[in-house]
Amino acid sequence: MTAKLTLGPVLFNWKPETWRDFYFRIADEAEVDTVCLGEVVCAKRAPFFAPLIPEVAERLSNAGKEVVFSTLALIMDERDMDLVRALAADSDLMVEANDMSAVALLAGRPHVIGPFINTYNEGTLAFFAGRGALRVSLPAELPAAATGVLAGAGVELEVQVFGRAPLAISARCYHARLQGLHKDGCRYVCEQDPDGLRLETLDGDAFLAINGTQTLSHSYLNLIGELAALEGAGIHRFRLSPHDMDMVAVAGIFRDVLDGRLEAARAARRLDALSGGVPFANGFHHGGPGVDWTAPAAPGE
């Protein structure tokens, strides 16, 4: 089976024109099979991007890419729920559910389960499949042993292989509180950090990143060295989470490794040159602390 690459939704509050141009370039240049669109983190941002989505979706579709529309990961009020209902009501769209309310609305029609829903065992996987889920994107913290077990359950699975790992989402906006603002009057200060705001421990060590109401890992999850093992375990779809960097180049590197044109150790070095100094991590995959990083071995090592 041919391995496929998915570009997840942009999690950060980019300027609308930047967001649009990013996806236009993805449509024209990126070696990805599926692209997810939509606001996942904060419903207050959605109106800025909504007018651009039809044009972006059309550009992606015309480029031969599958377009999936992602829902919010946390429903806070009726306004948020209306956004989910609007997506679920359009039977022509392939929707990725990131909240159980979206799962309920999508029951009985083909859809995708996103990584913000905790799919940790075969029973949960069977439940989603029985309600119409064609594909499940697993949470980033699952170790390889668990992923391998789930891969035998007969549902197409997807694993995040690049980008900050989404760890939690809250009703409170950390960006607003940091500026002494309330969430309802946040002034959209999260746009000041297009790749998330780095947090440090009291000792000054890099710890996490925040993105409005969301907590992310500081390091970039990077499973470039584990692609072959994941394919061997039955995983054939891999997710890249967008960041403020050259994601076309990132996608090309992963595609080259999947197609056997580039060995993993060299690919890791190329990704490091693109990452702007953000460290990599793959500890969750190996069953250890998420922040740990085991670099791919060069051939012959």
CATH number of the domain that residue 63 is part of: 3.20.20.70
Overall size of the chain counted in residues: 301
Distance CA 195, CA 276 (A): 11
Predicted pLDDT at 301: 56
At 238, list the tokens.
Answer: 């891999």
Q: Is residue 238 part of a domain?
A: yes
Q: Looking at the domain assignment, is residue 195 inside a domain?
A: no
Listed in sequence order, the residues at least 6 apart from 183 whose beta carbon sits closer than 8 Å to its beta carbon are 172, 173, 176, 213
Dihedral of CA 52/55/56/58: which sign? positive
3-state secondary structure the chain: CCCEEEECCCCCCCCHHHHHHHHHHHHHHCCCCEEEECCCCCHHHHHHHHHHHHHHHHHHHHCCCEEEEECCCCCCCHHHHHHHHHHHHCCCCEEEECCHHHHHHHCCCCEEECCCCCCCCHHHHHHHHHCCEEEEECCCCCCHHHHHHHHCCCCEEEEEEEEEEEEEECCCCHHHHHCCCCHHHCCCHHHHCCCCEEEECCCCCEEEEEECCEEEEEEEEECHHHHHHHHHHCCCEEEECCCCCCHHHHHHHHHHHHCCCCCHHHHHHHHHHHCCCCCEECCCCCCCCCCCCCCCCCCCC
Q: Which residue has the tokens 């240049």?
A: 29
The pLDDT value recorded for residue 300 is 59
Give the tokens for residue 2.
Answer: 């041919």
Rounded Cα gap, residues 95 and 149, in angstroms: 26
- What is the distance between the alpha carbons of residues 75 and 98, in angstroms, rounded to a whole number? 10
> Which residues span the domain enclosing 274?
4-165+218-281
How far apart CA 11 and CA 34 sit, in angstroms, is 16
Q: Does residue 171 lie in a domain region?
A: no
Cα(173)–Cα(135) distance, integer angstroms: 31
User: Is 40 inside a domain boundary?
Assistant: yes
pTM: predicted TM-score of the whole model, two decimal places: 0.96
**Which residues are CB-neighbours of 64 under 8 A, at least 6 positions away?**
none
Whether residue 184 is contained in a domain is answered as no
pLDDT of residue 184: 83
Tally of structural domains, the chain? 1
**pLDDT tens string for the chain (301 positions)?**
789 999 999 999 999 999 999 999 999 999 999 999 999 999 999 999 999 999 999 999 999 999 999 999 999 889 899 999 999 999 899 999 999 999 999 999 999 999 999 999 999 999 999 999 999 999 999 999 999 999 988 889 999 999 999 999 999 998 989 889 988 889 989 999 999 999 988 888 888 999 999 999 999 999 999 999 999 999 999 999 999 999 999 999 999 999 999 999 999 999 999 999 999 999 999 999 999 999 998 775 5
Residue 301 lies in a domain: no
Residue 202 neighbours by CB under 8 Å, 6+ apart? none
- Residue 20 domain-assigned (yes or no): yes
In a domain, residue 200? The reply is: no
